[in-house]
Amino acid sequence: MTYLRNAWYAAAWSEEIGREPLAKTFLDEPVVLYRDTNGDSIALSDRCPHRFAPLSKGTLVGDAIQCPYHGLRFGTDGSCIYNYHGPVPKAASVARYPLMERYGLTWIWMGDPEQADEAKLPDFGPRLTGDDFTAAKGSLMVHANYQLVVDNLLDLTHGEFLHPAFGSPESTKFETRLEGATVYANYRFDDEPVSPAVQPFWTSSSERCDRWANMRWEAPSNLYLEVIVKESGAPVDDDAIIFPASHFLTPETKDSTHYFWTNGRNRLIDDEEMTKLVWQITDNAFRNEDEPMIGLVRDRMAGREFEDLNPIFLTTDRAAGRARQILKKMIESEQSANAAEPNAKSKKSLEGADS
Ligand code: FES
Ligand SMILES: [Fe+2]
Residue 62's H or E segment, with its range, is none
3-class state of residue 291 by DSSP: helix
Is 345 a member of any domain? no
**116 CA distance to ligand 1 middle (Å):** 29
**Ranges under pLDDT 70 in the chain:** 167, 342-355
**Residue 204 placed within a domain:** yes
Q: Which of 61, 67, 88 to mutate to test the pocket of ligand 1 (most atoms within 8 A of CB)?
A: 67
Cβ of 348 below 6 Å from ligand 1: no
Ligand 1, atom 1, lies closest to the CA of 51
Q: Is 50 in the pocket of ligand 1 (CB under 6 A)?
A: yes
Statement to judge: residues 149 and 297 lie in one domain: yes
Domain identity same for 219 and 73: no
How does strand 99-102 pair with strand 59-61?
Answer: unpaired
Q: Is residue 348 part of a domain?
A: no
259 in the same domain as 231: yes
Q: Indicate whether residue 51 lines ligand 1 (CB < 6 A).
A: yes
Q: What integer pLDDT is reported at residue 171 of this predicted model?
A: 78
pLDDT for the residue 116: 98
80 lines ligand 1 (CB under 6 A): no
β-pair type (80-82, 73-74): antiparallel
Phi, psi of 139 (to 5 degrees): -155, 160
> Which amino acid, 169?
P
Ligand 1 atom index nearest CA of 48: 2
Ligand 1 site, residue 48, Cβ cutoff 6 A: yes
The Cβ-side half-sphere exposure at 74, using a 13 Å CA radius, reads: 32
Is residue 72 in contact with ligand 1, taking CB distance under 6 Å?
yes
Residue 308: per-residue pLDDT: 96
**Residue 352 phi, psi (nearest 5):** -65, -25
Q: How far apart are CA 13 and CA 299, in angstroms?
A: 29
Q: pLDDT value at position 351?
A: 42
185 and 290 within one domain: yes
pTM for the complete prediction? Answer: 0.94
Number of domains in the chain: 2
Q: Relative to the CA of 68, which ligand 1 atom is closest?
A: 2
**Predicted local distance difference test score (pLDDT) of residue 160:** 84
pLDDT at 343: 55
Range of the domain at 153: 128-332
CATH classification of the domain holding 286: 3.90.380.10
